[in-house]
Each structure stands twice: as structure tokens, then as C-alpha cells.
């Protein structure tokens, strides 16, 4: 075979190029592209072949072997996001902003797993063992039977784990791990990929669950090559605004449970506390209903969550009005404004528009369209919606309203929290609405005309 081709890889997003350049064409980062040593194809440069390999054992799909039971931590919110508990031999990647509480969450989880009888090892590449013990004392976990290690050499760590044979290993963090067989600096694309691969193979081979902490970039994505997210079984993001005490643990990939599931925690002086009823927490600071305030009945994963949407519409002193969004998609806001003007004759030209999701929660489902439109119209007309009202529904470009999924669960959650009125699109299964008064609309113009007397 000829000489291996030189590959240049971006340390920010993992994109590969045939030549070096100062700016990555994939993510736009500067000075992040470096040469990556090619992987060897085999002894003396020979390719793989059937003659040198060993037979791989095959099993029948209809085997009577029972799957290994999940290990529950006892933290209901964490177990919910994992799909019911930790699957033996699984690899989990947890990402989040610096200082958001990833290490605190995993130290509490390690203590709960260990107290439940699962041998647990916590490996820190960023802190010394004394610093981890200091944090454990502050959280009241000093008596937990968790074994600590402070090292970054992956070979030494795997050798230790081979002898200990724990049930759970927590690596904090994957970017600090150093594999001595890779000629690259710790934290580089090659090192992160090699370390994640070795840990994932170790987890599958020994039946040991591995949780890896991953740093995130300025865009909120886990740093390093995206192939790491494909290697692992579960990818979790720990989110939250620094100005709020709420923290959201969100599953974006889960081979053993539902994706987009969330767990809600509250940051306290004694660590992270579980929030069993997030709807009541997100609406706890809601005062007297005012113009621009609308309660949206949403679905996060498998659980219904009620959250307040806040809108402000004000005259703009500039020729180009501002459109500021926190917690929602700015492109979808532009679409809602265009539909309101084209289908309902309500312009927002010359007006600044601000939209905020209260509590620091981030919403991505399209069922929030109708609630956003209601908040914008309420702020523009300076008319508050009736109290104890929830709104949900998807808006199409034609102005028609599409029914949302799990309508029945949304209505049950609203009724449980004391809401008496719901505004939703026509169609969709509602079940027994109970004491909830349900108002249905087929299109956006009908909703605007009946609710605000315009359109």
C-alpha cells in the first residue's frame, strides 16, 4: 500500500480536511485545524483479511436469555431520563456548560448508586481526591461507599478497573483523559476519540456501566468529534440559566429509553434537589396575569410540563426592529409574525418584539406556536388573557391550526394544577376533559377574532 494520506481535523467540531486552513469551513472556528496522525491499517501496512482473524460467536435473536436488570439510583428524575435506570454495560455521555453542576449531579448519583449496592468508582481528571472529598462533605455524602481516583492516564485507569471490577465508573472528564498510544495532546480530537472508544469497549466487554463527562463548546455542543456521541449509548445534556436555580437534565439520545426525556432539579445549598412537579415550580413565581403572559401546556419527553411564555411588544426607535428570543427558536418566531400579518392582517412592522420562556426552560416542540401567537397579540393589544387558561397548538403557513400530540395528557396536567380553560386546535383526542372548559379553533384567524376581537 502507498503512504497514508495526511488528514487535518478541526478540534472544535471534528470535521476532516485534506489540507490545512486557518478557518474551519464546517463550524467557522479559527485556528482549530491541526494535522492528525493516520491510523495504522495493520502489521507492515497490510490490510485486514479473513485469514488472520478469529471467528466471532453468534447467538440466536430468539434466545431465552433474560436481559440484565437495570440499576436504579433512587433519584427518580435521573432514573426517568435514563429510561428507568442504568443498563449494565452501557456508556453514557453527560455534557453541560462549565459550572452548571455536572460534577455535583454525578457525585450525588455515584453516592446513591453505591448506597444501593452497586460498586462505584469516581475517577476525576480535573480535581484531586481531597477536593472531591471536600465537595462530598459539603453535600453530606462523606459516608457514601464510593471509591475515588485522581488520574488522567487511561492505561493506568483501565488497569485499576480490571482489578476492582466495579459496577459503575464515572469519568470526569473525557477531555482530560490521556491515552499513551495516541501521539497527540490531551483534549485533542484524536485523544478524545481514542479515550471514548477504549472506555466504551471496556464497558461492553466487562458489563460495567461508564458515565463520561464532556465539556461543551460556545455553541452548547459537546466538544470534540461528533463520532463520540455515536459511540456511546446515551447522550445527556445538563442545562440551565445561571440566574435561575432550575436545572434540566435532557436526554438527546438513548438506546434503552425514550429520547427528549427531561429531569428537573433545583440547585440548593446542599446540592441538587429533585423536582417531582416541574409545572408547579415553573409557574410558582407567576403573579397576576398581565398582557403578554400566556401559559403553554407542553410535552417534554413523556411528561407534560406547563410553562409561562412572556412577550413584550414596544414601538421601535430604529429602522430595523429588534426580535429577541430566549428559550425558543428565533426562526419560528419570525414565521409566526409573518403568518399573523399575511393571514390575519396584524402587522408588527416598526415594533420591537421580545419573547421569553420563564424559568430558563428551552422549548422546541411546534405545539408552542399558538401560545406564542397569543402572547404576542396579548402584548400588542395590551389585553391579558383570562386567568387560569392554557394554550397549545401548531400553526401552519396557511394559518390553519394543527392538533398537538398527547392532547389528553396536556389537559390532565392543566386540570391538576387548577386551570379551568384550555384553547386548542380543532381535532385530536381529548378524552374526558372533566371540569376543564375546552375552546377549539380551526384556524388562526378564528382564534384571533374570538379572543381579541380582531382579524
Residue numbers belonging to the annotated binding site for ATP? 96-103
How far apart CA 29 and CA 44 sit, in angstroms, is 37
CB 136 within 8 A of CB 130: no
Beta strands of 269-371 (E only): which ranges? Answer: 271-274, 293-300, 303-315, 323-326, 351-357
Q: How far is CA 65 from the centre of its chain?
A: 33
For the chain, helix, strand, coil in percent to 5 are 30, 25, 45
Residue for cell digits 466504551?
200
Closest CA to 305 of 315, 290, 295: 295
Strand partners, 442: none
> Residue positions in the annotated binding site?
96-103
Which helix H or strand E contains 281, and what residues bound it? helix 278-282
Cα–Cα distance measured from residue 221 to residue 229, given in angstroms and rounded to the nearest whole number: 11
How far is 95 from 223, CA to CA, in rounded Å?
9
Q: Are 94 and 102 in contact (CB under 8 A)?
A: yes
Amino acid at each position: 500500500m502507498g503512504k497514508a494520506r495526511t488528514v487535518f481535523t478541526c478540534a472544535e467540531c471534528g470535521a476532516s480536511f485534506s489540507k490545512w486552513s486557518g478557518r474551519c469551513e464546517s463550524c467557522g472556528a479559527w485556528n482549530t485545524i491541526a494535522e492528525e496522525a493516520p491510523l495504522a491499517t495493520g502489521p507492515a501496512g497490510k490490510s485486514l483479511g479473513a485469514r488472520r482473524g478469529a471467528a466471532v460467536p453468534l447467538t440466536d435473536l430468539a434466545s431465552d436469555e433474560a436481559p440484565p436488570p437495570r440499576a436504579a439510583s433512587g433519584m427518580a428524575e435521573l432514573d426517568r431520563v435514563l429510561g428507568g435506570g442504568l443498563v449494565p454495560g452501557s456508556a453514557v455521555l453527560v455534557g453541560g456548560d462549565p459550572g452548571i453542576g455536572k460534577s455535583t449531579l454525578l457525585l450525588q448519583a455515584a453516592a446513591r448508586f453505591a448506597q444501593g449496592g452497586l460498586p462505584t468508582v469516581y475517577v476525576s481528571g480535573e480535581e484531586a481526591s481531597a477536593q472531591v472529598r471536600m465537595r462530598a462533605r459539603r453535600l453530606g455524602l462523606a459516608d457514601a461507599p464510593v471509591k475515588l481516583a485522581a488520574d488522567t492516564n487511561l492505561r493506568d485507569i483501565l488497569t485499576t478497573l480490571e482489578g476492582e471490577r466495579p459496577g459503575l465508573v464515572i469519568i470526569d472528564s473525557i477531555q482530560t483523559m490521556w491515552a499513551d498510544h495516541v501521539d497527540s495532546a490531551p483534549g485533542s480530537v484524536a485523544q478524545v476519540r481514542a479515550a471514548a472508544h477504549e472506555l466504551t469497549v471496556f464497558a461492553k466487554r466487562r458489563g460495567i456501566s461508564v458515565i463520561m463527562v464532556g465539556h461543551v463548546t460556545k455553541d452548547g455542543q459537546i466538544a470534540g468529534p461528533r463520532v463520540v456521541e455515536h459511540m456511546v449509548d446515551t447522550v445527556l445534556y445538563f442545562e440551565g440559566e445561571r440566574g435561575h436555580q432550575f436545572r434540566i437534565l435532557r436526554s438527546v439520545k438513548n438506546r434503552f429509553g425514550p429520547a427528549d426525556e427531561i429531569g428537573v432539579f433545583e440547585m440548593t445549598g446542599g446540592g441538587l434537589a429533585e423536582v417531582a412537579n416541574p409545572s408547579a415550580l415553573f409557574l410558582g413565581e407567576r403573579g397576576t396575569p398581565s398582557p403578554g403572559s400566556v401559559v403553554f401546556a407542553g410535552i417534554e419527553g413523556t411528561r407534560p410540563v406547563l410553562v409561562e411564555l412572556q412577550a413584550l411588544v414596544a414601538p421601535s426607535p430604529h429602522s430595523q426592529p429588534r426580535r429577541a428570543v430566549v428559550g425558543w427558536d428565533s426562526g419560528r418566531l419570525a414565521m409566526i409574525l409573518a403568518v399573523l400579518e399575511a393571514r390575519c392582517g396584524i402587522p408588527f412592522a416598526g415594533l420591537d418584539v421580545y419573547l421569553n420562556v420563564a424559568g430558563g426552560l428551552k422549548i422546541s416542540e411546534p405545539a408552542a406556536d399558538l401560545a406564542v401567537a397569543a402572547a404576542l397579540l396579548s402584548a400588542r393589544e395590551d389585553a391579558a388573557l383570562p386567568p387560569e387558561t392554557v394554550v397549545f397548538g401548531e400553526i401552519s403557513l396557511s394559518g390553519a391550526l394543527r392538533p398537538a400530540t398527547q392532547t389528553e395528557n396536556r389537559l390532565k396536567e392543566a386540570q391538576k394544577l387548577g386551570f379551568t380553560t384550555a384553547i386548542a386546535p380543532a381535532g385530536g383526542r381529548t378524552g374526558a376533559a372533566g371540569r376543564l372548559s375546552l375552546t377549539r379553533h380551526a384556524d388562526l384567524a378564528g382564534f384571533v377574532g374570538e379572543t381579541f376581537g380582531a382579524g
